[in-house]
Amino acid sequence: MKTKLIKKQLMTSTLLLSCFLICNIGLAQIKGVVKNTSGTPIKNALVCHAKNKNTWTKTDKKGAFTLPGNKNTKLRVGALRYETVKSRVIGSSGVITLKKDPLLKTDVYHISFDHLRPGNSYSKKELKNDFAVGSGKGFLDGNKKTNRAFVDYNESVDPGGVSIRATFPKNGVKTAGSGFDTRIPLKNTFKNNDFKSGDLYLSYWVKFAKNFPFDKCGGKLPSLGGSDFNSRDNNWKGRIMWRRGGSIQFYMELPNNKFTPTNDSRFWGKRVKQGSNICEFEYQPYLASPGWHNIELHYKFETAGKNNGLFEGWVDGVNYDMQNASVFNNYKSSNRKNITINAILLSTFFGGSDDKRYWPPSNTHAWFDEFRVSKKRINEYKKYAKKQGRRQSLSNVSTLTQTTLFPNPATSALTVSGLPEDAQQILIYNTHGQLIVSKSIKSQTNALQIDVQNLSSGLYFMKIKNPEGISTNALKLFIRN
């Protein structure tokens, strides 16, 4: 009996000692400060363990933080507007310095999500601090936290980066039951606190889950929008959607303005499957292939006295001009003279309709990464094309940066000037993507004349071909015969 008692006491002592050691190890803490290169403390920076992102904290107004760990614990530190430190020990100084995001030297806005803590169920305070927005369906519906927006450290277009994963629940449609929806105002851009523009580009990356139900009618994708803040009725949204088969569709939400283009002019590429309605026919399946896809959009309002408004878009570096100036010229009338492009629509969900043909049959997902807004063409696909291994590198394919068309609109003869030196052929397409004119360039020339008197009035797109392929962008050509 005495031996058993001694053994029991020894076991108890061992347990107490183990608990003491574990508890004291657990009490070990890292204390430090996050600053920028000018020595200014960075508030609301994310500090987490590099190998365990679930151990995290945010810096206070003095840039200070406290986190479990020791001097050998490697940290990951990120903040909006700054480059992320992905793995570093704090060092004897107790200071971690972040460099400014180099993309903000040229971009109006950039968000890579590296500064967000992992997981879901965002609070209203977090939305305000991390996105500069007051609300966001899918993150937080009213006062109820939701889990349709998830910060994913295991999936990113950028190695070691972070993405936002949208969940589309079974049978869920619209913003109340599918994906997420919020508006990031560009007035919070880091270049101008009262930002307004009439000419902007948006680029981002999207990846759809395996077996994503592209047999359904479709859903919304992020885009740009804006409003006259003096009138809520003047909000506008430059929407795009994924559609049946993985195709892409452009349309506009414009108050008090008709927008009824034909299907062929608002879908990207050629029709590949016939049908009687939008839930049956299909266009080229750009988004159906696995992996990350780059979307770039360009919206431009007309300037005073000029018929130069437009929308154009790129998918994986390939250009599709969808609409000409009339869309914006008809919209920006005298009573809407203050309308600008001033928001990112961070919005994705199934539907837009309660029609059951939009309902996903089971829970599914899509990931989004690297949102950039710029005043000039971004072309981020070119940067990643070779790394992704999904298409040829576009570095040797011509771009029509110096090429001009005159007159435009044209009636009988068109002069094409500023052709690239390696141009071999001029190609003119209609809005259905059909090749209408093909003219060979027999000798090196800077300008060429083309007979267009037999073309019907309307909008056309001109590209050129060189030894590497067809140009990544198109010039709009208007014919008036």
Average pLDDT on 313-331 reads 67
pLDDT in tens, 380-414: 987 776 555 444 333 345 667 678 888 888 888 89
Alpha carbon 379 to its chain centroid, in Å, reads 12
Beta bridge partners of 183: 345
167 — pLDDT class (breaks 50, 70, 90): very high
pLDDT in tens, 73-101: 999 999 998 999 999 999 889 999 999 99
pLDDT in tens, 423-450: 888 989 887 677 889 888 876 666 788 9
pLDDT in tens, 202-249: 999 999 999 999 999 999 999 998 865 445 455 778 889 999 999 999
Average pLDDT on 183-206 reads 74
